Structure 1
Amino acid sequence: MAEEQVPAAASSNGSAASGAALGHSVIPIVNKLQDIFAQLGSQSTIELPQVAVVGSQSSGKSSVLEALVGRDFLPRGSDICTRRPLVLQLVYKKKNKPDGTDEEWGEFLHLPGKKFFDFNEIRREIQAETEREAGGNKGVTDKQIRLKIFSPNVLDITLVDLPGLTKVPVGDQPSDIEARIRTMIMSYIKLPSCLILAVTPANSDLANSDALQMAGIADPDGYRTIGVITKLDIMDRGTDARNFLLGKVIPLRLGYVGVVNRSQEDILMNRSIKDALVAEEKFFRSRPVYNDLAERCGVPQLAKKLNQILVQHIKTVLPGLKSRISAALVSVAKEHASYGEITESKAGQGALLLNILSKFSEAFSSMIEGKNEEMSTSELSGGARIHYIFQDIFVKSLEDVDPCEDLTDDDIRTAIQNATGPKSALFVPEVPFEVLIRRQIARLLDPSLQCARFIYDELIKMSHRCMVNELQRFPVLRKRMDEVIGNFLREGLEPSETMIGHIVEMEMDYINTSHPNFLGGSKAVEMALQQKPSRISAPISRQKDSGDSDKAPNSERSLKSRAILARQVNGIVPEQGGRPVADVEKTAPAVNNAGSTWGISSIFGGHDHRTSMKENFTSKLFSEPVQSIEQGVSMIHLREV
Structure 2
Amino acid sequence: MEALIPVINKLQDVFNTVGSDAIQLPQIIVLGTQSSGKSSVIESIVGRSFLPRGTGIVTRRPLILQLIYCPKDDKEHRSALDATVDIEEWGTFLHAKGKIFKNFTEICKEIENETDRIAGINKGVCPEPINLKIYSTKVVNLTLVDLPGITKVPVGDQPEDIEQQIRELVLKYIANPNSIILAVVTANTDMATSESLKIAKDVDPDGRRTLAVVTKLDLMDAGTDAIDILCGRVIPVKLGIIGVVNRSQQDIMNHKTIKDALKDEASYLQSKYPTLATRNGTPYLAKTLNRLLMHHIRDCLPDLKTRVNLMMSQFQSLLYSYGEDISDKSKTLLQIITKFASAYCATIEGTARNIETTELCGGARICYIFHETFGRTLDSIHPLAGLTRMDILTAIRNANGPRPALFVPEVSFELLVKRQIRRLEEPSLRCVELIHEEMQRIIQHCGSEVQQEMLRFPKLYERIVDVVTILLRRRLPTTNIMVENLVAIELAYINTKHPDFYKEIAVVPSMIKSGNTNRPERPKSMYVKSSPKEHNDTVQSRAQVQDQVDFFNYLFHILPGTSYNEFVSAVQVYSLLFSTFSKLVFLLHFAYVLNF
TM-score by length of structure 1 reads 0.65
State the AA in 2 paired with 1:322.
K
Where relative contact order (Cα < 8 A, 6+ residues apart) is larger, the structure is: 2
Structure 2 residue 13 is matched with structure 1 residue 30: no
> Which of 59, 64, 70 in structure 2 is aligned with 1:87?
64
Using the TM superposition, give the Cα deviation of residue 240 of structure 1 relative to its aligned residue in structure 2, in angstroms. 3.4
Give 1:452 deviation, angstroms: 3.5
**Structure 1 residue 61 displacement after superposition:** 0.7
- How many residues are paired up? 504
Structure 1 position 256, deviation (Å): 2.1
Which of 39, 51, 66 is equivalent to 2:17? 39
Three-state SS of the structure 2 residue aligned to 1:216 is helix
Deviation at 1:78, TM superposition (A): 2.8
Give the equivalent residue in structure 2 for 1:204: 189
Distance 1:91 1:603, change over 3 A: closer
Structure 1 segments unaligned to the other structure (5+ residues): 1-21, 513-573, 579-593, 605-615, 630-641
Q: Within 2, Cα distance between the matches of 1:511 and 1:221? A: 96
Q: Is the 8 A contact 1:370 1:384 kept in 2?
A: no
Q: Distance in 2 between matches of 1:416 and 1:294?
A: 121
Which residue in the other structure is 2:178 paired with?
Answer: 193
Mapped to 1, the partners of 2:55 and 2:318 lie a distance apart of 52
Tell me, yes or no, if structure 1 residue 326 matches structure 2 residue 246: no
- The match for 1:71 among 43, 48, 63 is 48
Query: Match for residue 294 of structure 1?
Result: 277
Give the drift of 1:475: 9.5
Q: Does 1:166 align with 2:178?
A: no
Greater displacement, 463-472 / 113-122: 463-472
Say whether the 8 Å CA contact 2:429–2:483 is kept in structure 1. Answer: no
Structure 1 pair 145–381 and aligned structure 2 pair: CA distance change class (3 A): farther
Summarize the Cα distance change of 1:329–1:177 in structure 2 as closer, same or farther, 3 Å threshold. same
Residue in 1 that maps onto 2:518: 598
Structure 1 residues 114-140: Cα deviation after superposition (integer angstroms, max 9, x where no partner) = 222221121121122222222334232
Give the corresponding residue for 2:105.
120
> Could you give the per-residue CA deviations for residues 353-394 of structure 1, whole angstroms, max 9, x where no partner exists?
665455545655677769778x999xx9994799499779x9
Quick one: structure 1 residues 623 and 44, their matched pair in 2 at CA, closer, same or farther if it must change by over 3 Å? same
- Against the structure 1 CA distance between its residues 215 and 351, is the aligned structure 2 distance closer, same or farther, given a 3 Å change threshold? same
Q: Distance in 1 between matches of 2:260 and 2:392?
A: 110
Amino acid at match of 1:598: N
- Report the equivalent of 2:36: 59
CA pair 125-370 structure 1, distance change in 2 beyond 3 A: farther
| Structure 1 residues 355 and 189, CA gap change in structure 2 (3 angstroms) | same
Query: Which structure's CA Rg is the greater one?
Result: 1
Amino acid at match of 1:454: E
Structure 2 contact 418–491 (Cα < 8 Å) conserved:
no
**Given the superposition, is the C-alpha separation of residues 387 and 257 from structure 1 closer, same or farther in structure 2, using an over 3 Å criterion?**
farther
Q: Distance in 1 between matches of 2:194 and 2:392?
A: 91
Amino acid at match of 1:317: C
Question: Does the residue aligned with 1:27 lie in a helix, a strand or coil?
Answer: helix
2:499 corresponding residue in structure 1: none
Residue 238 of structure 1 and its aligned partner are, at CA, apart by: 3.4
Distance 1:372 1:140, change over 3 A: farther
Q: Contact 1:370/1:382 (CA < 8 Å) preserved in 2?
A: no
The Cα offsets for residues 504-550 of structure 1, whole Å up to 9 and x where unpaired, read as 667878999xxxxxxxxxxxxxxxxxxxxxxxxxxxxxxxxxxxxxx
Change (3 A) 1:481 1:596: closer
Q: Partner residue of 1:443?
A: 426
The code of the aligned residue for 2:103 comes to D
Contact 1:54 1:161 in 2 (8 A): yes
The residue type equivalent to 1:253 in the other structure is: K
The structure 2 residue matched to 1:48, chosen from 5, 21, 25, is 25
**Within 1, Cα distance between the matches of 2:136 and 2:360?**
62
Q: Distance in 2 between matches of 1:350 and 1:335?
A: 24
- Farther-moved stretch of structure 1 (119-128 vs 291-300): 291-300
Q: 1:268 aligns with which of 241, 253, 272?
A: 253
Where 2:125 maps in the other structure, the secondary structure is coil
Matches within 5 A, 1:419-458: 419-421=396-398, 422=401, 433-458=416-441
- 2:124 aligned with 1:139, yes or no? yes
Aligned to 1:149, the other structure's residue is in SS state strand
Structure 2: which amino acid aligns with 1:27? I
Amino acid corresponding to residue 47 of structure 1 in structure 2: Q
> How far is the alpha carbon of 1:245 from its aligned partner?
3.0
Contact (CA 8 Å) 1:575, 1:599: kept in 2 or not? no
RMSD: 4.9
Write the distance in 2 (CA, Å) between the matches of 1:155 and 1:308.
10
1:458-490 Cα offsets, whole Å, 9 max, x none, are 345456776565688889987986687567656
Q: Which of 312, 332, 345 pairs up with 2:295?
A: 312
How far apart, CA to CA, are the structure 1 residues paired with 2:158 and 2:364? 54
User: % of aligned pairs identical?
Assistant: 40
d(CA) in 1 for partners of 2:381 and 2:211?
82
Q: Secondary structure, in 3 states, of the residue corresponding to 2:183?
A: strand
Cα deviation digits, residues 98-151 of structure 1 (max 9, x gap): xx9971111111222222222112112112222222233423222221110011
CA contact (8 A) 2:425 2:483 kept: no
Q: Which amino acid aligns with 1:599?
A: R
SS at match of 1:316: helix
Between 332-341 and 203-212, the greater mean CA deviation after superposition:
332-341
Q: Deviations over 1:35-63 (max 9, x none)?
A: 1221112x452222222211111111101
Would you say the 8 A contact 1:452–1:497 is kept in 2? Answer: no
Stretch deviating more after TM superposition (131-140 or 308-317):
131-140
Aligned to 1:169, what secondary structure does the other structure show? coil
Report the TM-score, using the length of structure 2 for normalisation.
Answer: 0.69
Structure 1 residues 349 and 509 mapped into 2: Cα distance closer, same or farther (>3 Å)? same
Q: Kindly indicate whether the alpha-carbon contact (under 8 Å) linking 1:95 and 1:152 is maintained by their aligned counterparts in 2.
A: yes
Change (3 A) 1:501 1:596: closer
**C-alpha distance in 1, partners of 2:353/2:283?**
64
- Could you list the per-position Cα deviations for residues 542-579 of structure 1 after superposition, in whole angstroms to 9, with x for gaps in the alignment? xxxxxxxxxxxxxxxxxxxxxxxxxxxxxxxx99989x
TM-superposed deviation, 1:72:
0.8
After superposition, where does 1:107-506 map in structure 2 within 5 Å?
Answer: 107-287=92-272, 290-342=273-325, 356=336, 359-361=339-341, 364=344, 383=361, 387=365, 417-421=394-398, 422=401, 433-461=416-444, 485=468, 489=472, 493=476, 496-498=479-481, 500-501=483-484
* Contact persistence 2:396–2:408 (CA under 8 A): no
Question: Contact (CA 8 Å) 2:63, 2:146: kept in 1 or not?
Answer: yes
Q: Counterpart of 1:223 in 2: which secondary structure?
A: coil
**Residues in 2 aligned to 1:186 and 1:96: alpha-carbon distance in whole angstroms:** 41
1:105 and 1:149 in contact (8 A); partners too: yes
Structure 2 counterpart SS, 1:179: helix
